[in-house]
Amino acid sequence: MKLRKTAVIAAAALATASLLAACGSSDSDSGSGSGSGSGEKVNLSYWLWDANQQPGYQKCADAFTAANPNISVTVKQFGWDDYWSGITTGLVSGTAPDVFTDHASYFPTFVEKHQILPIDDQQVDVSAYQKGLPELWVGTDGKRYGLPKDNGLVGLYVNSGLLSKAGKTDADLGDLTWNPTDGGSFEKLIAHLTVDKAGKRGDEAGFDKNKVDVYGLGLNGAGDGAGESIWAQYALSNGWTYYSGDTSKPHFNYDDPKFLDTMKWFKGLSDKGFMPSLKIATSGVGMQQTYGAGKYAMTTDGVWSAQSYAELKDVKTTIAALPTGPAGRQSTANSLGDAVTATTKHPAEAKKLLVFLGGKDCQSIIGQAGVVLPAMTSALEDAKATFQKNGIDIAPFLAPTTHTEPVVPQWADAMAIFQPAMQAYLNGQGDVNAFVGVNDQINKLYQ
């Protein structure tokens, strides 16, 4: 869930590495012991990238070993870049883990390259998960390769101190509206929360958009073609859909006027000085650190970041629902899953671990950890209780109607076309109608 915006960059590397992996050894030294029904002890390796989730999954691993004494699990956490570098090179060198946390952006490529194993021989009840999430981990070949672990929903994070200083209250966040023409009450709030270095607000005469001290809305990069937590919530609320047709042969809609109008409005926030330009947003520290320094009054971010916002020392945060657009209040839904590498020496034990990590007992542990929302419905109440205990209201995240992000073949190839165009547009280097040509190029991949 975390750092989705950079997924495609590494996905492209994955595509390259996978070609090499096809020529590499099928052996893996990631685990030890003979296993596979021999009765001997087996040690599995499990990798994940989110340090906040490691304690919860260590508890899950311990619980798994307690139930399966012959199988121990070594849990390792890596930073995002090192993680995917380790996975891609490990698939070549034979040092990839037995089981690892997978990302929807990578999943189709892993399937296409036969680098992960299907788990259709395992007994799982997919009806236990929240609607739409289990389908994310079914390949275009119809086989299931994983189970959903969490539910990545998006909300509006607001600096309570800056809100109060602007003469606004939490009540002003309750019924925000948005449209691509004038931005509705949402843009009015963004403008009012924007302050230049002379103290003029964005909706006051004399506001200097070139000398902004506090931006009303933060920016977390350009995003990929899913636009999760960046621009997708606005486009979807404008009635736009990612693509039409079957997932195996999608027809993308980046040329839809609903998308183009949304992007014109979105970039317009930067042009007016209400949101940083892409160059400014990506030239210093990250969005959350900038928000913590009091330079962003609001951000749109995932529920997976809620605990981190709550732990900021100098900022008290109010979480609100995303604004309602012409097509209602809409947002993305996504989920991480686990995968078993095709190079594992212990496929039976690795699949057993995967099913446990996505099962009721582990989902309950993860829910009680209060870091993410579990994918399994029965564990959702555990998470709600923990978030509430920590002073975090997750109800706003549950308000929008959600849309599953694209999980389609050749996603990395498609994003190699889309991302440079989006970056150029947000940097003022192209017209919004350039997305018409971009859309044509992407759809040719699926002809």
Domain ranges of the chain: 42-151+335-398, 153-333+406-445
Per-residue pLDDT tens over the stretch 21-75: 333 333 333 444 444 455 689 999 999 999 989 999 999 999 999 999 999 999 9
pLDDT average, residue stretch 249-268: 97
Residue 188 burial by Cβ neighbours in a 10 Å radius (0-12, 13-18, 19+): middle
Alpha-carbon distance of 144 to 7, in angstroms, equals 22
Average confidence (pLDDT) over 324-329? 98
Nearest to 334 by CA among 65, 130, 165, 143: 130
Region of 142 on the Ramachandran plot (φ > 0 left; ψ -120 to 50 alpha; else beta): left
pLDDT cut 70: percent of the chain above it: 91
Residues 341/116, Cβ–Cβ less than 8 Å = yes
Burial 8-24 (b: 16+ CB within 10 A, else e): bbbbbbbbebbeebeee
**Phi and psi, residue 156, nearest 5°:** -105, 120
State residue 88's pLDDT score: 85
Residues 6+ apart with CB under 8 A from 27: 94, 343, 345
DSSP-derived secondary structure letter, 336: -
Q: Do domains 42-151+335-398 and 153-333+406-445 have the same CATH topology?
A: yes
Cα distances (angstroms) measured from residue 187 to each of 41, 109, 166, 177, 305: 60, 39, 14, 9, 24
Question: In Å, how far from its chain's centre is CA 97?
Answer: 22
The better pLDDT of the pair 20, 419 is held by: 419
Name the phi and psi angles at 229, rounded to 5.
65, 0
- Is pTM, for the whole model, over 0.75? yes
Q: How far is CA 300 from CA 39, 228, 230, in A?
A: 50, 9, 7
| Greatest alpha-carbon span in the chain | 78
Q: What is the pLDDT of residue 5?
A: 40
What is the three-class DSSP state of 378?
A: helix
**CATH number among 3.40.190.10, 3.30.70.660, 3.30.70.100, 3.30.70.20, domain 42-151+335-398:** 3.40.190.10
From the candidate CATH numbers 3.40.190.10, 1.10.730.10, 1.10.1240.10, 1.10.8.80, the one assigned to the domain spanning 153-333+406-445:
3.40.190.10
320, β-bridge pairs? 156
Query: Hey, what are 46's tokens?
Result: 């499990």
Rounded Cα–Cα distance for residues 118 and 343 (Å): 13
- Among all chains, which residue has been given the structure tokens 């564990």? 379
Among 401, 398, 356, 447, smallest CA distance to 149 is for 356
Q: Tell me the pLDDT band of 4, cut-offs 50, 70 and 90.
A: very low
Query: What's residue 105's pLDDT?
Result: 80
Contact status, residue 244 vs residue 406, Cβ threshold 8 Å: no
pLDDT of residue 402 exceeding 70, the answer is yes
Give me the pLDDT at residue 30, please.
43
**Dihedral angle of Cα 299, 336, 7, 311, to the nearest 10 degrees:** 40
Q: What is the 3-state secondary structure (H, E, C) of 105-132?
A: CCHHHHHHCCCECCCCCCCCCHHHECCC
Take residue 142 and report the two structure tokens written for it.
């119809």
Is the distance from CB of 428 to CB of 277 less than 8 angstroms?
yes
Least confident of 190-199, 204-213, 245-254: 245-254
